[in-house]
Amino acid sequence: MLYLAFITSLFASIFLTASLKMLSFFKFIQWNPIGFSKKYQFFEGSHPFINWLFLAVVIFVVNLIIYLIMQYVQNVPPFITSLVIGGLFAIIAEWIIYDLPAELSSFKKLSIPFIVMVVITARFIIETASFHYQAHLERNRLPYKESVIK
């Protein structure tokens, strides 16, 4: 099961990092995804590829943690869970990046494409975790009742 968590988190982090690069390139987001290197002085003089690689590793770790936690959530449909968790994570991330005040007018500054990409990634992770956990539970279940004589 850990292998599936690793592979799923790896592909989700590659997808989200590439999506952030595309959103930044086409100016769908007004902030720089690797702007943390200047703000917090991480890898300040290094090549931008190193900053993107560090961002991908951080996204991978977050995805892995979400996968490992969400595989045990069975009572809530994965669609609702991914919508809530992905949406909240994206809104909180942009709220911190923009340093917005707690007002209703601040919602106009949030990037809809960024929120959609995070929700898509969350849906992929949570749906995969839920499916594989269910498949693992039903792996040894017999297709007939145990009281039936064969």
Domain count, the chain: 1
What's the one-letter identity of residue 9? Answer: S
Inside any domain, residue 143 = no
Inside any domain, residue 98 = yes
**Using CA atoms, how far apart are residues 67 and 8, in angstroms rounded to an integer?**
8
Q: Which residues fall within 8 angstroms of residue 33, CB to CB, at 6 or more apart?
A: 20, 21, 23, 24, 52, 55
- Each residue's pLDDT tens digit, 57-116: 999 999 999 999 998 887 888 899 999 999 999 999 998 888 878 777 777 888 899 999
Backbone angles phi, psi at 34, to 5 degrees: -105, 20
Prediction pTM value: 0.87
Inside any domain, residue 148 = no
**Using CA atoms, how far apart are residues 86 and 106, in angstroms rounded to an integer?**
19
Q: In the chain, how many H helices and how many E strands?
A: 5, 0
